[in-house]
Amino acid sequence: KAGVTQTPRYLIKTRGQQVTLSCSPISGHRSVSWYQQTPGQGLQFLFEYFSETQRNKGNFPGRFSGRQFSNSRSEMNVSTLELGDSALYLCASKVGGSFETQYFGPGTRLLVL
């Protein structure tokens, strides 16, 4: 079974721009979660989508948003980029239940200049 895929793998943007990241979950998985990982803060939860609905949201500003499509693929958008948004953005998928193991993708490395 193919794993979680994320595109693009690397991205360079400048302050004030916006960016959209994409995630394709493991086949059959209906839940997709997004995380931000930085050396200073570690892994921080952004939000989770299940069946096209946001099920949980972390403590991030409204500049961070996401959506999920009917095929379970998900996108994450960050508007008005700030230098501090530079990070590894990780997507994780699971079948859908509350207490299940998540499987992570390789991540998108975002650098904001």
Residues within the interface to other proteins (CB under 8 A): 4, 6, 33, 42-43, 45, 48, 56, 58, 88, 90, 92, 98-99, 101-107, 109
Considering the complex, state which of residue 55 and residue 67 has its C-beta at the smaller distance from other proteins.
55
Structure tokens at 35: 């995380």
| CB 13, min distance to other proteins, A | 18
| CB 99, min distance to other proteins, A | 5
- Cα within 13 Å of Cα(102), Cβ side: 15
| CB 9, min distance to other proteins, A | 9
Considering the complex, state which of residue 70 and residue 99 has its C-beta at the smaller distance from other proteins.
99
Q: Which amino acid is at 23?
A: C
Q: Is the dihedral of CA 33, 13, 79, 68 positive or negative?
A: negative
Considering the complex, state which of residue 20 and residue 102 has its C-beta at the smaller distance from other proteins.
102
Query: Cα 33 to the chain's mean position, in Å?
Result: 6
| CB 30, min distance to other proteins, A | 15
Closest CA to 91 of 41, 30, 24: 24
The answer to whether 68 touches 98, Cβ cutoff 8 Å, is no
